[in-house]
Amino acid sequence: APAAEAIDPAAVKQELIAKYPTKVARKRGKQIIVNRVGEDCSVPEIGANTRTIPGIITQRGCSYAGCKGVVLGPTRDLVNLTHGPIGCGFYSWLTRRNQTRPATPEEANFMPYCFSTDLQDEDIVFGGEKKLRAAILEAYDIFHPKAISIFATCPVGLIGDDIHTVAKEMKERLGINVFAFSCEGYKGVSQSAGHHIANNGIFKHVVGLDDTSREGKYRINLLGEYNIGGDAFEIERVLEKCGITLVATFSGNSTYEQFASSHMADLNTVMCHRSINYVAEMMERKFGIPWIKTNFIGAGSAAKSLRKIAKYFEDRELSDRVEEIIAEEMVEVEKVQAEVRARCEGKLAMLFVGGSRAHHYQDLFAEIGMRTISAGYEFAHRDDYEGRRVLPDIKVDADSRSIEELEVHPDPDRYRPRKTAEQIAELKRDGLSFNDYEGMMVRMADGTLVIDDISQYETERMIETYKPAIFCAGIKEKYAVQKKGIPMKQLHSYDSGGPYAGFKGAVNFYREIDRMVNSRIWSYLKAPWQTNPELAATYACE
Ligand code: CFM
Ligand code: HCA
């Protein structure tokens, strides 16, 4: 492969869009950007969060996936009931590898179950509400959950079943919390719309219901951490060592009660900004809980995040403890880093994942000397690329209201906001809140290609052009990439690996990437048509 430096990224971009019809090329042109970071940390504008052009093979998923699969799916004691044909529930059933660990064997854990109304043709014709009511009753009778959440799939929206009225009726009848999400797959342009719907729903129906306060001097929530491959377990281990109390996680290894009492925390720390910023904003407004951006992917980032939390609490005891833990954990990290770096230094990575990992995992690669030559998100918005600074006016809504209209906690006898609006404004001025939220592009080198919603065609061209040492994406991309002879790491499900978060996670990741990029196995691999040209000819003729 030619050295990456010898390749002109602007020419690569032109080549990528050359095959498209004019209008498509114009649109993709705005979503494929040669990165350039200005002295003031400005970055070029990128087109994002727009509809994928029909016919293009995209990596994206649907709104239902973002709502049911991503945000609510990991909560173990919620009966997450999919109202729809069985495929939607079945294919979102644990495929994300979100893990959970009940505190006792008796504690409810419904994750091993897949709940669905299993709609049939007949229900589509005559309506599915009856079936939905029956399913809720059946789940209640068998499992006696504290809460049941209902998720609409595409056909449910098309036939117009009123899932919210059914939820309300059943809530009154059963005396448990029942709430519904209109997260039909076709809503919006990607999973991202589903996150928003989920956030609004949990905030409206659950957050703030239970004023039970957890013991602890430093009580935080962890937002946007989903315990994929056990990441949350590692973060929990580190926080506990530091003496930081985790009140609620949205939503890795979480329970319904954690959400209900999450407003009793002192601080929200936001890991995946894309999927959960709405809850952070709404809690800040209603409960006076400030939020800061954190990231536990990468040992350096994990250390930085712990320091940021300690800084927030302005407590000497905590910062001393945090420094002690970082020093302790970094011994093994640095040892493995040095060993692996010697074999990985300078190798190229490409990352095309979701709405935050394409950014966060660049830190892990950098720690072993690998360079990210190209990266992009599936469904992120402009702020995830360009940073919050350039887009200060992003609106969040709860139930179609703007954030400004959202009530500050109305009952001062029951709950006192952690900080006043003035105090929060002051924190933001000090750069401790969202003002310091950087996007992906400012951290990437000049001349790297940032590609939003990359297509399969572009993926193949990028691989042929740069021959990266590793390509990271999801299951749909996996085998096409491997057939090109390039090691492929799933950064969604982690294949069968993980955790990769925190300090132990970083060590796991270094070792695994080392094995992948330094294995010779891929150079022995030939696609069937490379050894048997007749096969190619046969396909070409058909
Ligand atoms: Fe956030 Fe996620 Fe991601 Fe995401 Fe996802 Fe995921 Fe992802 Mo798959 S919440 S944006 S919608 S970090 S499921 S745990 S891996 S695409 S980069
Ligand atoms: C989703 C979930 C997903 C898919 C991963 C993949 C996940 O978006 O519906 O394409 O491999 O992380 O499980 O992002």
Q: Are residues 438 and 431 in contact, defined by beta-carbon separation less than 8 angstroms?
A: no
Q: Is 320 left (phi over 0), alpha (psi -120 to 50) or beta?
A: alpha
- Ligand 2 mutation pick, 57, 92, 96, max ligand atoms within 8 A of CB: 96
Residue 36 annotated to the active site: no
pLDDT at site 434: 45
- Ligand 1 mutation pick, 97, 275, 495, 500, max ligand atoms within 8 A of CB: 275
Q: Which residues contact 328 (CB under 8 A, 6 or more apart)?
A: none
ipTM over 0.90: yes
The SS3 assignment for 193 reads: helix
Residue with tokens 């039909």: 184
Please tell me the number of Cα atoms within 13 Å of 530 on its side-chain side: 7
Residue 205 annotated to the active site: no
Residue nearest to atom 1 of ligand 1 (CA): 272
196 CA → ligand 2 middle, Å: 17
Residue 51 annotated to the active site: no
pLDDT at site 391: 59
- With a cut of 50, which residues of the chain have pLDDT below it? 393, 434-435
Pocket of ligand 2 (CB under 6 A): 61, 65, 69, 95-96, 191, 354, 474-476, 490, 492-493
Q: Which residues contact 473 (CB under 8 A, 6 or more apart)?
A: 59, 351, 352, 353, 459, 481, 488, 490, 491, 492
Look at residues 305, 295, 350, 353 and name the one whose alpha carbon lies nearest to residue 325.
305
pLDDT at site 468: 97
Q: Which residues contact 394 (CB under 8 A, 6 or more apart)?
A: 383, 388
Q: Are residues 192 and 224 in contact, defined by beta-carbon separation less than 8 angstroms?
A: no
pLDDT at site 437: 73
In ligand 2, the atom with minimum distance to the C-alpha of 354 is 14
Bond into 251 cis (ω within 30):
yes
Q: Are residues 153 and 84 in contact, defined by beta-carbon separation less than 8 angstroms?
A: yes
- Ligand 1 mutation pick, 351, 353, 472, max ligand atoms within 8 A of CB: 353
Q: Which two tokens stand for residue 31?
A: 């979503």
Look at residues 295, 49, 39, 302 and name the one whose alpha carbon lies nearest to residue 192.
49
Of 28, 195, 388, 492, the active-site residue reads: 195
pLDDT at site 41: 87
Provide the 10 A C-beta neighbour count for residue 104: 5
